[in-house]
Amino acid sequence: MKERLLDLTFRYGAIFVIIAVFIYFSVTQPYFLNFENMMDILKYISIVTLVGTGITISLVVDGFDLSVGSTVSLATVVAASLMVWYEMPLVLVILVPLLLGALVGLLNAFLIVRIGIPDLLATLAVMYIIGGVHRTYTEGYNIHNYMNMPDGTKAPGAVSDSFLWLGKGEVAGVPVPVILMLVTIVIVHLFLNYTRWGRQMYITGGNQEAARLSGIRVNRIRYAAYMMSGALAAMGGVLFAARVGSGQIDAGAPFLMEGVAAVFVGFSVFGAGKPNILGTFLGSLLIGILLNGLTMQNLPYYAYDIVKGTVLVMALAVTFVHLKRRKT
């Protein structure tokens, strides 16, 4: 009986918690359960989900990408600067940050695969490097319309309306970031579970030596995973810039912890016991509901990290206690 209860907790615990939290805030907060607020929650978690999706892909190949937060900040300030400083067209404003995110992933993979630095240490070092790079690039300033430059001149450009539409626009009443998030979730889910490359990523993460002996190009797979992680984080950074209409130098700092929490909550969804995209989305949803509801209850913003840390600890406890019992 005890084993069965533990198994049910592992398989459906996260789902039960999401439902319970949703019901609680629906009952206690009169404006929680309306369409506008639901869209606000989904809009907020769109960036968290994109960042979490990148972390998920790195975990699939038995790695871990700590540099995603800095990559979000880099993409945010680069996207804003291309419009405000250089008046570049929209296509470059979107593509350049995505390419930079992929290059950050390439640097991570080079340090891990070629140099042999452990994933956590390599991506931690890159996190600090990229953090320094984007602050040096902006000289420590946030980027906004027609800003005063350090040399006393005024920036010639402004964030365009077409770019702002990516963060604030709607299609049939559904925010554009929500649509982009859902499309990304579907594409990555199908990629990981129904394509040869996706299955090879899972095999590589399960046992690299066995994957290598079966003919899988393990190094190439790991390079691809980290580059995808960087590009997805950069996509989140572009959406953040489009949402706030400026380039914030520390924009990505909160998204690393929230993305990690979402990923590990997702480990226990439906008893997956492994990184998976649908679980990451549900983990993001739990965090979004919690923060939205607590905001309605006027919880001080500086206490939010306590909630996020508690959610992460609970998710890790449920996941690893179950995995430990299965091994024994």
155-203 pLDDT, tens per residue? 999 999 999 999 999 999 899 999 999 999 999 999 999 999 999 999 9
Q: What is the pLDDT of residue 150?
A: 78
Residues of the chain with pLDDT below 70 are: 1-13, 270-273, 315-316, 318-328
324 φ, ψ (degrees, to nearest 5): -65, -40
Reading the block at residue 236, the tokens are: 């989140």
Q: What is the pLDDT of residue 323?
A: 60
pTM value is 0.93
Q: Which of 269, 275, 273, 266 is nearest to 193 (CA)?
A: 275
Who contacts 70 (Cβ-Cβ below 8 Å, separation ≥6)? 104, 126, 127, 128, 129, 130, 131, 134, 252
Domain interval for residue 136: 2-327
10-49 pLDDT, tens per residue? 666 677 788 888 999 999 998 898 999 999 999 999 999 9
Q: What is the CATH number of the domain that holds 204?
A: 1.10.3470
Q: Count how many domains the chain has.
A: 1
